[in-house]
């Protein structure tokens, strides 16, 4: 049996998965050392390396299979059926079995080009009932508070394996205790059984280390996140305390880089996080701790369950039609589906390959809480009657090489998915004066924070940004995105004589990478009222020198972090260079 082609297929794939997991764990485990050494550039590189690692290991495993098997075995579905059964048995006692199943699926899809998606030959559904298995491994540490909040916070910070001491632990624990006394529900504050519970693993991302857990007492609970920063030359400090579910959800947003966090039992770890954030989809939580490929698997399963309910049909997304992408939605599923059109608007000088490269760039880059994460699908198949007639007609018209009908099936050769948001231009049509001011302020902040991460969005039109349920402005149209350091920001030269200024054509030369920030206002806002408000809120964005200063900071090697909580929430005394939302 162990010498059969099917068993060797399963064993070869599992060997490749083990290599992937080993390197993944090495990169993740080194996050504590990078935090200790304040190696921020290295942290960015490690994040990108870990994202690229999955596809690299799939390619290596695929090469190994092709060298070891004849084509007939590799493309024979019966071999994969038997191989799946052997593989399920081989991983049955693993703590990361669901990740192993997704790796098997990746190999199957690589061989069959995302066709023949059946549970007989791959893991469309999991091979085991997660609820029936519990590892017994303790994830958390706990301490009864006994009304001694400052001591409890001190324990939370000291009983963590940081290799750098805190600059002023007395100050940090006092500030945190005062915050909790002022903001916790009375039922928790006054309960005799109140305790702090924290995951043993530390969540590292960019310049921050996050302790994550909850406070329980009196039959109630609130989430608890303690963000710790490293001031080079001074030591660690607690930057704030977060206990609101929405605030914690933003920490784990789909718009941010994946955490580097050591996870022994992925499924149980995600279950715990979902107790803190019940509105977060399971797939999104897998992604946020680095398992984005399995996040894609969980997304696909959730989509299939939703489609099967037949509550609604796919429709064209509301809003202005895109020049490069056709966008459709299943309204009940909070997700948009984006297809690259066959022909672009004449103003878009790019190819399909250019667009895919831009989306890949964003996937690997730090999204600083301002760019939506995407999942990429090939040969996405749905029944024809799951689409509204108008939606299907438009998709077939604008992307006939990508969307095809085969009997009662719609086959989409390639698409991206993103979290559904309200387009900013539509949001502005519906909001009041206070909301308008707040969202335009956040729109400008989004542009600044992307720039601080060396990203220039290119097309900054309002329709290319969305507003989340938390009121945050997020960029989601990547076909013109580029590195900020590739841009040439210029002031508009003074005209030599009045006639030049009145001409329809510019009186100055314009290179391919030239950008004139003074033009942003008229270009972005036809509404004079909105334009004036934008000028008031973000005058620096109209100044080429501001952009040049950011470029120079990046070229000088400065890493400007963007913290996922508001500036007013931060404790006084932080000298960390960074931006907040």
β-strand partners of 325: 340
Query: What is the DSSP secondary structure assignment for residue 371, as one 8-state letter?
Result: B
**320 is annotated as contributing to ligand binding:** yes
Query: What is the DSSP secondary structure assignment for residue 503, as one 8-state letter?
Result: S
CB contact at 8 A, 341 and 399: yes
Rounded Cα–Cα distance for residues 240 and 180 (Å): 11
**317 is annotated as contributing to ligand binding:** yes
**321 is annotated as contributing to ligand binding:** yes
Please measure the distance between the N-terminal and C-terminal CA atoms of the chain and give it in whole angstroms: 58
Give me 188's structure tokens: 């928790």
**280 is annotated as contributing to ligand binding:** no
- Residue 474: which of 256, 249, 251, 205 has the closest Cα? 256
Non-local CB neighbours of 37 within 8 Å, separated by 6+ positions: none
Which phi and psi (to 5°) does residue 224 adopt? -140, 125
Q: Beta strand pairing status for 403-406 and 409-419?
A: antiparallel
CB contact at 8 A, 171 and 574: no
Query: What is the DSSP secondary structure assignment for residue 260, as one 8-state letter?
Result: B
Which phi and psi (to 5°) does residue 453 adopt? -95, 15
Q: Rounded to 5 degrees, what angle do the CA atoms 72, 75, 357 make?
A: 135
Q: Which of 366, 373, 442, 477 is catalytic?
A: 373
Residue 37 is among the residues annotated as catalytic for this protein:
no
Q: Beta strand pairing status for 561-563 and 578-580?
A: parallel
Q: Beta strand pairing status for 315-316 and 235-238?
A: unpaired
* Alpha carbon of residue 200 to chain centroid: 23
CB contact at 8 A, 11 and 97: no
Query: Which ranges of 30-92 does DSSP label H, i.e. alpha helix?
Result: 31-36, 40-68, 71-74, 77-90
Query: Which ranges of 289-398 does DSSP label H, i.e. alpha helix?
Result: 292-309, 352-364, 389-398
Rounded Cα–Cα distance for residues 169 and 277 (Å): 29
**281 is annotated as contributing to ligand binding:** no
CB contact at 8 A, 399 and 340: yes
Handedness of CA 107, 366, 285, 138 (dihedral sign): positive
Torsion angle of the four alpha carbons 457, 207, 281, 569, in this order, in degrees rounded to the nearest 10: -90
Query: What is the DSSP secondary structure assignment for residue 484, as one 8-state letter?
Result: G
Non-local CB neighbours of 118 within 8 Å, separated by 6+ positions: 124
Non-local CB neighbours of 13 within 8 Å, separated by 6+ positions: 61, 65, 83, 87, 103, 104, 107
- Residue 152: which of 123, 130, 179, 173 has the closest Cα? 173
40-68 vs 352-364: helix crossing angle, rounded to 10: 120
**323 is annotated as contributing to ligand binding:** yes
β-strand partners of 418: 336
* Alpha carbon of residue 182 to chain centroid: 33
Q: Report, as residue numbers or ranges, the catalytic residues.
A: 373
Q: Write out the binding residues for ATP.
A: 317-323, 338
């Amino acid at each position: 049996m162990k010498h059969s082609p099917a068993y060797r297929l399963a064993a070869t794939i599992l060997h490749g998965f083990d290599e992937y997991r080993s390197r993944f764990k090495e990169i993740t485990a080194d996050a504590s050392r990078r935090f200790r050494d304040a190696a921020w550039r290295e942290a960015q590189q490690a994040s990108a390396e870990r994202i690229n690692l999955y596809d690299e290991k799939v390619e290596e495993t695929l090469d190994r299979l092709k060298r070891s098997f004849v084509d007939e075995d590799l493309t024979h579905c019966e071999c994969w059926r038997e191989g799946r059964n052997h593989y399920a048995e081989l991983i049955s006692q693993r703590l990361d079995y669901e990740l192993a199943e997704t790796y098997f699926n990746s190999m199957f899809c690589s061989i069959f080009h995302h066709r023949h998606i059946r549970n007989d030959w791959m893991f469309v559904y999991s091979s085991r009932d997660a609820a029936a298995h519990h590892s017994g491994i303790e994830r958390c540490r706990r301490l009864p508070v006994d009304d001694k909040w400052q001591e409890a916070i001190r324990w939370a910070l000291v009983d963590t394996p940081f290799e750098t001491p805190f600059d002023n632990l007395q100050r940090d624990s006092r500030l945190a205790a005062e915050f909790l006394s002022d903001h916790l529900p009375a039922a928790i504050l006054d309960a005799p059984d109140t305790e702090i519970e924290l995951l043993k693993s530390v969540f590292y991302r960019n310049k921050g280390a996050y302790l994550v857990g909850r406070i329980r007492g009196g039959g109630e609970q609130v989430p608890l996140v303690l963000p710790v920063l490293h001031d080079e030359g001074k030591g660690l400090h607690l930057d704030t305390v977060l206990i609101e579910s929405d605030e914690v959800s933003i920490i784990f947003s789909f718009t941010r880089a994946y955490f580097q966090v050591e996870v022994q039992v992925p499924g149980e770890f995600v279950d715990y996080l979902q107790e803190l954030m019940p509105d977060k989809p399971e797939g999104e939580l897998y992604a946020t701790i680095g398992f984005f490929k399995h996040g894609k698997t969980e997304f696909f399963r959730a989509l299939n369950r939703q489609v099967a309910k037949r509550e609604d049909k796919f429709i064209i997304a509301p809003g202005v039609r895109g020049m490069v992408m056709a966008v459709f939605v299943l309204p009940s599923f909070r997700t948009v589906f984006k297809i690259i059109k066959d022909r672009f608007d004449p103003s878009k000088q790019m190819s399909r390959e250019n667009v895919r490269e831009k989306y890949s760039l964003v996937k690997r880059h730090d999204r600083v809480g301002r760019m939506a994460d995407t999942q990429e699908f090939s040969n996405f198949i749905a029944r024809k009657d799951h689409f509204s007639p108008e939606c299907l007609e438009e998709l077939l018209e604008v992307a006939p090489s990508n969307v095809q009908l085969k009997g009662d099936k719609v086959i989409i050769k390639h698409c991206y998915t993103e979290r559904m948001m309200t387009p900013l231009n539509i949001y502005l049509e519906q909001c009041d004066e206070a909301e308008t001011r707040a969202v335009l302020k956040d729109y400008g902040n989004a542009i600044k924070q992307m720039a601080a991460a060396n990203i220039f969005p290119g097309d900054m039109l309002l329709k290319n940004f969305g507003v989340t349920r938390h009121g945050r402005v997020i960029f989601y149209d990547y076909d013109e995105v580029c590195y900020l350091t590739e841009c040439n920001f210029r002031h508009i030269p003074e005209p030599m004589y009045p006639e030049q200024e009145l001409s329809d054509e510019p009186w100055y030369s314009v290179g391919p990478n030239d950008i004139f920030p003074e033009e942003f206002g008229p270009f972005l806002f036809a509404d004079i009222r909105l334009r004036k408000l934008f000028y008031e809120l973000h005058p620096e964005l109209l100044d080429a020198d501001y952009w040049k200063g950011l470029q120079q900071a990046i070229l000088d090697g400065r890493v400007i972090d963007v913290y996922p909580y508001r500036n007013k929430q931060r404790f006084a005394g932080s000298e960390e260079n960074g931006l907040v939302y």
